[in-house]
Amino acid sequence: MADGTMRAWSVVRPGPVEEGYLRPVRKPVPVPADDELLVRVRACGVCRTDLHVTEGDLPVHRPGVTPGHEVVGELAGAGAGVRGFEAGCRIGVAWLRHTDGGCAYCVRGAENLCPRSEYTGWHADGGYAEYTTVPAAFAYRLPKDVPDVALAPLLCAGIIGHRALRRAALPPGGRLGLYGFGGSAHLCAQVAIAEGATVHVMTRGAHARRLALELGAASAQDAYAEPPEPLDSAILFAPAGELVPVALRALDRGGVLAIAGIHLTDTPPLHYETELFHEKQLRSVASNTREDGREFLSLAARYGVRATTHRYPLSRAAEALGDLKAGRFDGAAVLVNDWT
């Protein structure tokens, strides 16, 4: 930081991650605006959305953006207008970083739908870097007794999984199906099981199925297999539209399917009688509110939710994203800052 620059990963041009358009560069250390915190990154989780930003599945909002929105860091500076944060305290930086606060959605408590919302690692540089910034109003305070690496994936994977679980409207003691069992699903499963749900996991990876059973799932089978009993609720975590009818068929009458991803391949045509009739519901999940985040972090602390993590040094972020794409690990990858 001596010369005012830092190392950071930059999406020089969106494209396949294995072709090397996510590159380590030098950038100026960001200067926090009046209402922002400067955070020294200690760990940053690797989210599938980072892959979508890198590969151009999502439109470019900031050329050369630095991905990363599951940041556990420490306060390294603050704008003149910020009060109430102690120097060096641990800070969480998540996906949602700006809403206008005044639109109809914000006013009714649905700030996740704000048309003027902005996101870390997409509209603004994120945590694949030595330093990042966050508006103080969107920063999370973090529980003291959880290590950085175990905490990082809670900040997006965990929060989104939690919102998806709420959107799936699982009745108390209900039967929940999880399609896909990566970073988000394995955290969501822990909350659901702690709250008394019976969880069935449908996923293609043998390792992921083993992890599901270790975490207390009642069954684990292939992504396209039928669960052993009809489901009250299901959540589709895999970004695969062809699983939508599969999951809808697995629902009991009146069941709800929530689609957790920000990106989904096209769904095949739906068959009304077997996939939608009997008041089955299909819902999407868009980002989260700050309240979702605070609620999940507090439940995670109460239930002892822990991410199963795979560490990579921050200097190998592109390799971590490539491994995520290829499905080479279960749970969640976390980058640990080896640059500072």
The residues that bridge with 177 in the sheet, in sequence order, are: 200, 234
Stretch that binds Zn ion, among 17-25, 112-120, 147-155, 196-204 (CB under 5 A): 112-120
Q: Which stretch binds Zn ion (CB under 5 A): 30-38, 118-126, 148-156, 269-277?
A: 148-156
Nearer of residues 158 and 245 to Zn ion, judged by Cβ: 158
Alpha helices in the chain (DSSP H): 48-55, 104-107, 148-151, 157-167, 183-194, 206-214, 243-250, 290-303, 317-326
Please report whether residue 47 would count as binding Zn ion according to CB under 5 A: yes
Give the tokens for residue 93: 């930086």
Which of 114, 129, 258, 336 binds Zn ion (CB under 5 A)? It is 114
Four-residue CA torsion sign, 175, 176, 181, 187? negative
**283 vs 60, 167, 257, 301, 304, CA distance in Å?**
26, 7, 6, 28, 29
CA–CA separation, 122 and 93 (whole Å): 13
State the nearest-atom distance from the C-beta of 129 to Zn ion, in Å. 16
Residue closer to Zn ion, measured from CB, 156 or 176? 156
Q: Is residue 49 at the binding interface for Zn ion, with CB under 5 A as the rule? A: yes
3-class secondary structure, 257: strand
Is the distance from CB of 8 to CB of 130 less than 8 angstroms?
yes
Q: Which span sits near Zn ion by CB under 5 A: 85-93, 102-110, 279-287, 300-308?
A: 102-110
For Zn ion, the closer CB: 37 or 47:
47
The answer to whether 193 and 304 are in contact (CB under 8 A) is no
* DSSP tag of 127: S
Span 189-208, contacts to Zn ion by CB under 5 A: none
Contacts of 103 (CB under 8 A, 6+ apart): 114, 115, 116
Shorter beta-carbon distance to Zn ion: residue 35 or 252:
35
Of 252, 235, 253, 143, nearest to 192 (Cα)? Answer: 235
Question: Binding segment for Zn ion among 4-12, 113-121, 219-227, 237-245 (CB under 5 A)?
Answer: 113-121
Q: How far is the CB of 318 from Zn ion (least distance, A)?
A: 17
- Indicate whether 106 belongs to the interface with Zn ion (CB under 5 A): yes
Which residue, 30 or 127, has its beta carbon nearer to Zn ion? 127
Q: Which is nearer to Zn ion, 94 or 231 (CB)?
A: 94
The answer to the question of residue 156 lying near Zn ion (CB under 5 A) is yes
Q: How many residues bind Zn ion (CB under 5 A)?
A: 8
Q: Does 103 bind Zn ion (CB under 5 A)?
A: yes
CB of 213 to Zn ion, least distance (A): 26
Of residues 96 and 240, the one with the C-beta less far from Zn ion: 96
The least CB distance from residue 115 to Zn ion, in Å, is 7
* Adjacency order of strands within the sheet including 231-236: 219-221, 198-202, 175-179, 231-236, 251-259, 281-284
Contacting Zn ion within 55-94 (CB under 5 A): none
The contact set with Zn ion (CB under 5 A) reads: 47, 49, 99-100, 103, 106, 114, 156
